[in-house]
Structure 1
């Protein structure tokens, strides 16, 4: 579909960050090329994280559309970490991809979240597409270094899909559409009229039928462009309906198989878990620097110390936070390994059993429960060991808690606890849902 001049003009008026601010880093990453090992990819993620951390507090306050930050993800190559090597991707597993998300989130939770959602959406066809679609879409995304957003919020009404000639037409609206404003492609999902069958499809973002409200101005994750979007008469050819037979106009049961296709859901739940953990780790690192440089010892003590780093209660709190974050990280890494192993074992055959899927989902549920609890505790608790001046808006320590608090409301963690209780007591694996 042709680009809408009016929509393009509107997007140009929205305050956004300037990609040229990172030109020095763009050139450096271009000269170095893509990393070629898992360790090198993690080092690249750390470099990006450090760049973002330098002014994350100021950018959070400004709340500008993160075009510069997405340009940094592009030039660094991080958008390609999971892509096939044949098309210029990194060829890494989700085990590495999750750690990359976590590293970026340490420096800036918003950008870590954007990267996580992109990696999930960019691999959607791997799960619910035909082999031809999977290869074609991976080639399109990786060769063009596209950033992918998604209008797939299950809490809203499904988009309605109708057939018009040799095309499908999407209509509807979503209250949340993470990263859409600054994306090149958007994943749409809806229900085919007259059926209960869902269809996923990739479409160009900048077109007349996709209108963003530009209304994301929330407490946390302020640079994720997660506002609402209206979808009006967006067309796709039948060939782009992921997992559907272009000749019969019916879902291909060998492609859209449950439980394999439903792995999309635990995969994104572990995306969430990793950027929660990254944000919490980032808060502890940020707080430690602040305590060392700025926090003063308490003067009204029977055992007065010369520096804050000698205070018993400060040392005790940091040690406790660190221990719990280490435990959470070990659990999250184990969950990532379990999922990556499942993909490696069954990615080609799509023959995963309900039990295998359920076991991995419970590793991920465990990781999400522990990381949610720990991240909320640590990001709030660091103020106890930094002092009242650390609450200053320009300091930016508050952004870590605000970011975690905002997204941990995505779906109630209480349901994950109940799900795990049923697994422990009844040996019951969860039924695939939009949140399990």
Structure 2
């Protein structure tokens, strides 16, 4: 499916060049001074700092950590944190917004595929998008249900920093069959998505944190930064590659980290395979049990495969590691 974006949000005025450390420092200082000028009054008033968001956008600093390959400045995280600290000295609430935007850029880079990096990040630069989040992994009330090639997301997410007034959001939703999180990204004005400005803490008043409500929000397949079981399998494969690249220099701890990643991937894939292959029939009805379709093979094959190297051993290893830090002992099944 081709990727599509809505119309550009921002006018085409030229942003500052931030290719050198001196230019970053200059832009940061100018922004910090502008925010400091109204920080006391705004802290008393609270609410949404729309004008100050535009100052951050106009500074060009939203593109600081986006790789140059996608039109950003590709600056180091050390440079970003120096910029963040200076802005926090002037206004910690707006620094919070600034930081969360860059956290979402990092989330896309971490979880997304190369084509998603291009899709989301190039348009972030070209359209000057300001990202917020609804990721909060501890809030599992928003549920992800597969719907054809995409998903439907329903339920609330709390503590969503930067969500109020954002252009795009990253988010997580709980996937019951695999007992894990789906992570995705989508425009903040997607049909069925509403953002409540209900943050009422006595500090950090202008972080634009709120509650994000998903009401049968349609998520396209290309907006999923990784399906729950797939992301853990991919991460486990990366661990294996990293360990193999060490050759004779590999340590017991290196090997242990690979074993934990594999155990996590197996535990989630096991549950997902059994649950999804069973739910096929709940979605398709009694006629789907006809032998001419052969749909039962998916459950039968998954059930037999998951019984090899029983999952209880992997759960035991994960539990021991979580409680004591101990890595699994090597076995012929490792």
Q: TM-score, normalised by structure 1?
A: 0.51
Q: Deviations over 1:359-390 (max 9, x none)?
A: xxxxxxxxxxxxxxxxxxxxxxxxxxxxxxxx
Given that 1:180 and 1:225 are in contact with CA atoms closer than 8 Å, whether structure 2 keeps it comes out as: yes
| Cα pair distance change 1:196/1:32, threshold 3 Å | closer
Which residue of structure 2 lines up, in the alignment, with residue 271 of structure 1?
Answer: none
Which one is further off, 30-39 or 221-230?
30-39
Aligned to 1:207: 190
In 2, the alpha carbon distance for the partners of 1:31 and 1:143 equals 11
Is it true that 1:48 corresponds to 2:38 in the alignment?
A: no
Instruction: Kindly state the Cα deviation for residue 227 of structure 1 after the two structures are TM-superposed.
Output: 2.0
Aligned to 1:238: 221
Q: Report 1 or 2 for greater relative contact order, CA contacts < 8 Å, sequence distance ≥ 6.
A: 1
What is the root-mean-square deviation of aligned Cα atoms in Å?
A: 3.6
Which residue of 1 is the match for residue 98 of structure 2? 115
On the 8 A contact 2:132/2:162 being kept in 1, the answer is yes
- The answer as to whether partners of 2:184 and 2:226 remain within 8 angstroms in 1 is no
Q: Distance in 1 between matches of 2:151 and 2:180?
A: 13
- Aligned-partner Cα distance in 2 for 1:353–1:185: 42
CA deviation after TM superposition for structure 1 residue 171, in Å = 1.2
Give the corresponding residue for 2:87: 104
Higher strand share: 2
Gaps in structure 1 of 5+ consecutive residues: 4-25, 261-345, 357-426, 431-436
Is contact 1:173–1:231 with CA below 8 Å preserved after alignment? yes
SS at match of 2:159: coil
Work out which of the residue numbers 224, 244, 251 in structure 1 matches 2:230. 251
**CA deviation map 1:278-304 (0-9, x unaligned):** xxxxxxxxxxxxxxxxxxxxxxxxxxx
2:149 matched to which residue of 1? 166
Match of 2:295 in 1: none
More helix by share: 1
Which residue, out of 18, 26, 35, partners 1:35? Answer: 18
For residues 216-254 of structure 1, give each alpha carbon's deviation from its aligned partner in whole angstroms, at most 9, with x where no partner exists: 12211111121222111111111221134xxxx961556
> How many angstroms does 1:257 deviate by?
4.2
Offset of residue 60 of structure 1: 1.2
- 1:2–1:93 distance in 2 versus 1, CA, 3 Å: closer
Q: Distance in 2 between matches of 1:214 and 1:200?
A: 23
Aligned to 1:182: 165
Counterpart pick for 1:221 among 198, 201, 204: 204
Partner of 2:52: 69
TM-score for both structures, normalised by structure 2: 0.65
